[in-house]
Chain A
Amino acid sequence: MSLDLNYRDVSKVFGAGGKNPVEALKKVSFTINPGELFCLLGPSGCGKTTLLRSTAGLESITSGHIFYGGRDMTSIPPFRRNIGMVFQSFALYPHMNIFENVAYGLRVRKTPEAEVRRKVTEVMELVGLMEELKRNPSPAGLSGGQQQRVAIARALVYDPDLLLLDEPLANLDAKLRRYMRAEIRRIQKATNITTIFVTHDQEEAMAVGDRLAVMRRGVVEQIGSSDELYNKPNSAFVANFIGKMNFFKAELAAWDGENARARIIGPDFELDVGKGRNHLPTGIAVGSRILVGARPEQLSVGLRGVEGAMAGKVNIIQHLGQFVRYEVSVDTAISAQPFEVDMPGLVAGIAEGDNVYVSIKKGLASFYLPEEGQSE
């Protein structure tokens, strides 16, 4: 029976009452479903690790509540919460062999010896370490991927109510990382334990998680499946954090609460966006500064200017396998940063240094509110 996990107004202030209190979590509220593999994603310092450590009880929260399956765990010490956790450094005990490492939580629970053997064998089979268990070396004698498996086995062996993974793949090399994230998903689905997976790598989060929460500055910006976050990001930050988004400066030309029209400042042309693609607050005034966003594959480059195209200059052409990426500088009045445009193949006649035109594919742009700290 898997549990759901519920955060209600969880806040954490480091150094409260001191000179520089840091608000690591600001009234975070959301629910993780039973048996779900849930990713916490965000740049460093966004509060994702603090939220995970608070869930474990390793960090006490300043206010709010955390419920496991409806039970308030806020003031329960971590050693009475029955959770499993995998640390970024794996935290395997160098003074114990791998059997004793995995058996640790069972020994704490004073499990009978026969039961310990049975459970350790079972979990080692699940993580695919039966061969290593026969040799039973100390953790230092294992490869990074194997150490990771031992760490997962150790966290699972006593049937925890909740599995917490703190950047579990950060210490592995790139190839192993891709393999292990599939393994983690397989093991999680096999055990069906409600799991939180913390990472700063959006590709990893999208590949592993059933659902994702993108965090920034102690606030959950958006929760959804990979697909929802990529295709319907509801803020400029999420849009640019989950994949790449190009932004143009624009002005709100018309607005009826659902449909909007923007005037792009440089080339001075107007663009309509309907419901679902416009993430502007209802109260916004016509004439306000907004941002028009388009993903690299939602733009195209060409030698001739069509209507609404912006003039620019190709800086770099990168061949990236399935597509070719053009980096194009445009008038700084439109965007201070060069655009990234992905084309399915090389466009004949365009070389680095050439003058080109960039246009938005019909109906694919989104509107966002500019925000402080947003790089232009």
Chain B
Amino acid sequence: MKERNLDSSISSGEHGGFKKFLQKDLTPYLVFLIPLAFLCLFLFWPLATTLLRAFMKSGNKFDLGALGVSGFEKFFTSALYQRSLRNSFIVGISVTSCSLLIGVPMGYFVARVKIPGKSLLLSLGILPVIMPSFIGAFSWIILLGRQGVLRYFINIVLTPLGLELPPIYGMFGMIFCMSLTYYPFVFLLSHGAFSSANALLEDAGMLMGASRWRVLRTITFPLVIPSIGAAALLVFIRSIGNFGIPAIIGGDQYVLPTLIYFRVNGFWDLNGASSIAVVNVLITGAVLWFQKYVVSRREYETISASHVEIQQHKHPVLRVIAFLYCLVVLLVSLAPQIVIIVMAFFEKWQGLLPEGFTLANFNKIPKNSPKELLNSLYLSTLATLLTAILGSIIAYITERRKPKGAGILDMAVMAPFILPGTVVSVALLSAFSGRSAIPLGGTYTIIIIAYMVRRTPYVYRSVAASLTQLNPSLEEASTIAGAHWIYTFRRVSVPLILPGIISGSILTFSTLLQELSTTILLYGARTRTVPIQIYGAVADGKMGEASALSVILLIVVFAIVYTTNKSKGRDLSAGLKM
């Protein structure tokens, strides 16, 4: 006994670090290594290769001997590059401003004005983000394209005045479609901020003699600015990374993601594409930095214990205006989905009404795209399962075990959230295509990895959000009761964070089904997916077939999202936050 004490008092002194380490339970470290290895192999390594390739001569030769800046020189010499860069900036800034203009009032109205159908507005509000954005784009072509239905009628009105509405192709179309796709970020986040703000603060302002407008200006808005800033950042990052909308509706106007596609697909110029990708990421990084150090400095601690129900405006005129506003925004942003459904059942739609009711569009699917349907299902399901496991484990580690470097792990996992899909593809191609050590070009594996890399943040954020709401003492109580951490994880942690895992997975699955920007650079003849098929059909002008396929996607995605929202306590938007 005495000897043992003596022995252990020596070993746990300063020199006993190693023995102490061995006495510890090592399983957490092993579990920690798996996600780390995944991130190193499929994120850090590809990104490093991309960065190297960006400094190589155009082509796809990986030659460390001849580094230079020729890839970047094009941004000074080529008119196409310059215009693409300028377009990306214009699109990013305009879409962000438009989304703010649409979304902030809507968030305020739904949070603060007494209007009917709030929960419906909120659940429909998230749809434009979750629904495939490129489907929206080609639907607007049906409405406002060269032979667009709506454009035809608007021009009947405008022609006597000597005016003509141009087709939607180009900058206006991109900004229009993207704003309608991304405003829900602003709407949902600002709604959250407006409705969770402490009413007592506003009451206090009012009691000190401030008018309603003054309270709004000096108290309410400053408090929601951080949320709105985060939403604006999200919109900006998404819009400059979007590939589908510019590819379909951009016409001859290129932006950086389509330029990347053009370099890879047209010239197999991986090094050139890498240079563009680096520029794209630099812009995103600069904006992120700006948000982090300028906007979020204004974040405030809530210094109050009790919350009071927020007073809602009941003025009848305001109520009518608010309700109509929300209704119009929602209808316009959901119009594409409705148009697609109609279009799918007709041969063509060039006048007032669609002509030639038919089921042929659907009948063609089993013949033309059976492989694509199966591929989409297979790839999305498998990738979602793996993402759910990976994201949950990383969230659990960073949130609960808090190892040294948890901050780095967090940043690494979230990095793909801000990386445009085309950039992720270029990175994976530069590391794993052709004669690389692990050749994966054209395989299912490379697509699944790309999906995992891009969607892990969804599950990660969603699970981390439920973990922060989970008091650590629940898990400690289990440990104290004698349970090994694996037992605790299985019986206590997983059941309690299951809502987070499920909503993260659903978001992952429903967005993977419609994934275009990553797949477009990675697919091969065997691995075509439904969105690829739709994109091809639109390019070939087969609107009916594209619509029918889109309808199938829409139905599946809507069914998933609807059932999720039905079951209580699921919050899909958690996975979309940063």
CB within 8 Å of B: which residues of A?
56, 58, 63, 65, 70, 72, 74-75, 77-85, 87-89, 91, 93-95, 104-105, 108-109, 154-155, 158, 164
Contacts and interface: CB of A to CB of B under 8 A. Distances in A.
B481 A104 contact: yes
B480 A78 contact: yes
Contacts of B478: 104, 108
Interface string B474-497: 101111111111010001100110
Interface stretch (B6-14, B44-52, B286-294, B444-452): B6-14
B481 A108 contact: yes
A104 B474 CA distance: 12
9 shortest A-B CB distances, which residue pairs? A105-B481, A91-B473, A87-B473, A91-B477, A85-B480, A108-B483, A108-B482, A95-B495, A91-B474
Contacts of A63: 12-13
Given A63-B13, A93-B474, A56 B482 contact: no
A158 B485 CA distance: 19
B496 A109 contact: no
Interface residues of B, number: 29
Contacts of A158: 481-482
Given A91-B477, A94-B496, A75 B23 contact: yes
A75 B8 contact: yes
B301 interface: no
Given A63-B12, A75-B12, A108-B487, A154 B474 contact: no
Contacts of A93: 474, 492, 496
Contacts of B483: 79, 108
26 contacts: A63-B13, A65-B8, A65-B12, A72-B8, A74-B12, A75-B12, A79-B479, A79-B482, A79-B483, A79-B484, A83-B480, A84-B480, A84-B481, A85-B477, A87-B476, A89-B471, A89-B473, A91-B471, A94-B496, A104-B478, A104-B481, A105-B482, A108-B483, A155-B480, A158-B481, A164-B480
A41 to B, nearest CB: 21
A83 B479 CA distance: 10
A80 B25 CA distance: 12
B470 to A, nearest CB: 10
B570 to A, nearest CB: 16
Nearest to B471: A89
Given A65-B8, A72-B8, 5 more contacts: A70-B1, A74-B12, A89-B473, A93-B474, A104-B481
B515 to A, nearest CB: 34
Interface of B: 1, 4-5, 8-9, 12-13, 20, 23-25, 471, 473-474, 476-485, 487, 491-492, 495-496
Contact of B477 (A65, A82, A87, A94): A87
A72 B482 contact: no
A192 B1 CA distance: 26
Contacts of A74: 8, 12
Contact of A95 (B25, B471, B473, B496): B496
B9 to A, nearest CB: 7
Nearest to B482: A108
A75 B12 CA distance: 9
Contact of B5 (A72, A85, A89): A72
A39 B281 CA distance: 58
Nearest to B498: A95
A325 B25 CA distance: 58
Contacts of A80: 482
Contacts of A85: 476-477, 480
Contact of B482 (A58, A82, A95, A164): A82
Most buried by B among A80, A84, A93, A164: A93
Contacts of B23: 75
B476 A91 contact: yes
B8 to A, nearest CB: 6
Nearest to A84: B480
B481 A154 contact: yes
Nearest to A104: B481
Contacts of A77: 24-25
B2 to A, nearest CB: 10
B22 to A, nearest CB: 10
Contact of B480 (A79, A94, A95): A79
Contacts of B495: 95
Given A75-B20, A91-B471, A91-B474, A56 B492 contact: no
A154 B24 CA distance: 27
A65 B480 contact: no
Nearest to B23: A75
Contacts of B473: 87-89, 91
Contacts of A88: 473
A65 B12 CA distance: 9
